[in-house]
């Protein structure tokens, strides 16, 4: 099977702290994969290494056959867990920027989504609420026709109605041949959309299986299984 994301022997340590330990993963195309784990399990570290924001201590990451490079970044659409747009930038300036850099960016789709949410593209980011900023970023990320979407905690910190909209946006705006990697610990909200789940614990892959198989084997929902695996 063709693997869009291939990770081999990936480790990352901060001094004496081992954030990731010998991670091996192969993720194919056309899946929505949940990267699940409690705080400090290494989810964000793994994502940052895939996106080229952190250097691994050892191991390799291949995205569509390319190591982390401008070529891999051209096919990865990344939503971080924080606001990454300049506060003095207007929404339309952010769209113009994405259009300039990403060949796969669809400005019409972005403006349609903004209009659906009644977000004025002329507004500066600093005038928007935290939730609206997150929606704008999600719109930018989902307006690309990328091969791999990496969404780091896309529904954390927003109200339940916004969560529904975000999940709806994710589901309705990705090419079925693309892969989405969603990192979250709000499993109940995302469980319905996941095809596969990766459970991370102490920087190791504890479990990586299709969600349906997990449910069948354990007789539990992914959320229940998560609570059992990570019981304090």
Partner 1 sequence: MLGTLIKHEFKKTWIIMTLICAVTIVLGILGGIFFKLTIDPDFSSEANEFILAFGIIGFAMILSALSMATTIYLVVHYYRSLYSSQGYLSFTLPVSITEVVSSRVIIGFTWSLLVSLSMGLALFAAVGIPGGLAYVKEFYDELISTVEVSQVYKVMILCVFAIIFRSFATLMTYFFCISIGQLWGKHKILGAVLCYFATSFVLMIFSFGFNYRMFFSPDAFTGLDSFEYLATTLVKTIVYSVVTIAIFYGAAIFTSNKQLNLD
Judged by the rule CB under 8 A, the positions of this chain that interact with partner 1 are 14, 48, 51-55, 69-71, 73-74, 76, 78, 80, 82-86, 88-89, 93, 97, 100-102
Position of tokens 């935290």? 130
For residue 32, list its beta bridge partners.
180
Considering the complex, what minimum distance in angstroms separates the CB of residue 63 from partner 1? 12
Residue number with CB closer to partner 1 (57 or 218): 57
Least CB distance from residue 75 to partner 1, whole Å? 8
User: Within 10 A of 137 (CB to CB), how many other CB atoms are there?
Assistant: 20
Closer to partner 1 at the Cβ: 100 or 232?
100
| Cβ-Cβ contacts under 8 Å for 107 (sequence gap 6 or more) | 95, 98, 99, 143
Residue 44's SS3 state is helix
Q: CB 126 → partner 1: shortest distance, Å?
A: 13
Q: Return the number of the residue (78 or 199) whose C-beta is nearest partner 1.
A: 78
CB of 219 to partner 1, least distance (A): 39
Nearer to partner 1, 34 or 56 (CB): 56
Rounded distance between C-alpha atoms, residue 32 and residue 150, angstroms = 10
- Tokens 């990496």 correspond to 150
- Tell me the closest approach of the beta carbon of residue 88 to partner 1, in angstroms: 7
Residue with tokens 């979250």: 184
Distance of alpha carbon 23 from alpha carbon 129, whole angstroms: 37
Taking the least distance from each CB to partner 1, the nearer of 97 and 229 is 97
Task: Round the CA-based radius of gyration of the chain to a whole number and report it.
Answer: 18
Q: Between β-strands 66-67 and 58-63, what pairing exists: parallel, antiparallel or unpaired?
A: antiparallel
């Amino acid at each position: 099977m063709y693997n869009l994301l291939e990770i081999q022997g990936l480790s990352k340590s901060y001094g004496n702290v081992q954030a990731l330990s010998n991670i091996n993963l192969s993720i194919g195309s056309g899946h929505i994969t949940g990267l699940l784990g409690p705080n400090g399990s290494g989810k964000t570290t793994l994502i940052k290494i895939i996106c080229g924001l952190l250097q691994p201590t050892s191991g390799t990451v291949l995205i569509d056959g390319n190591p982390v490079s401008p070529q891999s970044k051209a096919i990865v659409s990344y939503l971080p867990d924080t606001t990454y747009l300049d506060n003095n930038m207007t929404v339309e300036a952010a769209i113009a920027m994405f259009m300039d850099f990403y060949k796969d960016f669809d400005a019409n789709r972005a403006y349609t989504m903004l209009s659906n949410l009644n977000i004025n593209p002329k507004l500066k980011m600093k005038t928007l609420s935290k939730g609206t900023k997150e929606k704008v970023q999600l719109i930018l990320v989902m307006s690309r026709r990328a091969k791999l979407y990496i969404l780091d905690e896309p529904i954390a910190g927003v109200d339940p109605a916004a969560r529904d909209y975000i999940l709806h946006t994710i589901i309705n705006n990705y090419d079925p041949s693309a892969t989405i990697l969603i990192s979250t610990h709000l499993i109940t909200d995302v469980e319905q959309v996941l095809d596969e789940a990766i459970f991370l614990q102490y920087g190791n892959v504890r479990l990586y299986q299709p969600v349906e198989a997990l449910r069948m084997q354990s007789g539990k929902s992914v959320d229940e299984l998560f609570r059992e695996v990570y019981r304090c």
